[in-house]
Amino acid sequence: MKRRFVARHFGKDSRGVAAVEFAFIASAVGFVMLNVADLAIFLFDRLEVENATQMAAQAAYAACPFNQLPATVNCTGLTTKITAAVQSTSLGTAPTIVTGYPTEAYYCVSGGALTSVGAVTSPKPANCTLAGSTTTKPGDYLLIQVTYTYSPLFTGASIAALLPTTITNSAWVRLA
């Protein structure tokens, strides 16, 4: 008998309903906020990697005078200056130059794209015949590639864990 009385009154008692509703809504909003924060950090890191790559290209251009080209052969301290530029962003020493980069070769613009016409270890071609133009001269281009490993703040509770963990970006610079 006492149980029925308690059950009847419990069904009519609405105290605490707002607290339960708030708990449901707050946890949903919190989950969304965690995802927004993780996604924002990922996008910021990606922008910083792009910035680091551009800074490396500018450092390479500034570090090697035209009389020291090809830069990867004749410009002393090129890799050190590029690495310093890459690691001067807010990401610190986390971004690194991909192994095998920077690469340098002679290129010609053909149809809106770069076409390789020779390696820097061989004499510079006189023109862009290999790319379909006898009137233009090839340029000395340097390609720099930077990589960074992103790790989400909330690995178990965030969709950012589905994003790629390695962020890689490339930059070209024409040296001459």
What is the distance, to the nearest Å, from the Cα of residue 167 to the centroid of all Cα atoms in its chain? Answer: 4
Looking at the DSSP bridge assignments, the partners of residue 148 are 167
Taking phi over 0 as left and psi of -120 to 50 as alpha, with beta for the rest, 75 belongs to beta
Beta strands in 31-102 (DSSP E): 96-97
Residues 6+ apart with CB under 8 A from 101: 143, 144, 145
pLDDT for the residue 14: 73
State the DSSP code for 27: H
pLDDT higher than 70, residue 24: yes
**Contacting residues for 138 by C-beta, under 8 A, at least 6 apart:** 106, 107, 108, 117, 118, 124, 125, 127, 128, 131
* Cβ-contact 166, 150 below 8 angstroms: yes
Q: What is the pLDDT of residues 86-132, one digit of tens each?
A: 999 999 999 999 999 999 999 998 888 899 999 998 898 989 988 88
pTM exceeding the 0.75 threshold for the entire prediction: yes
* pLDDT over 70 (residue 67): yes
The closest alpha carbon to 88, from 131, 58, 126, belongs to 58
Highest mean pLDDT among 64-78, 96-110, 148-162: 96-110
Q: What whole-number distance in Å separates Cα of residue 157 and Cα of residue 119?
A: 49
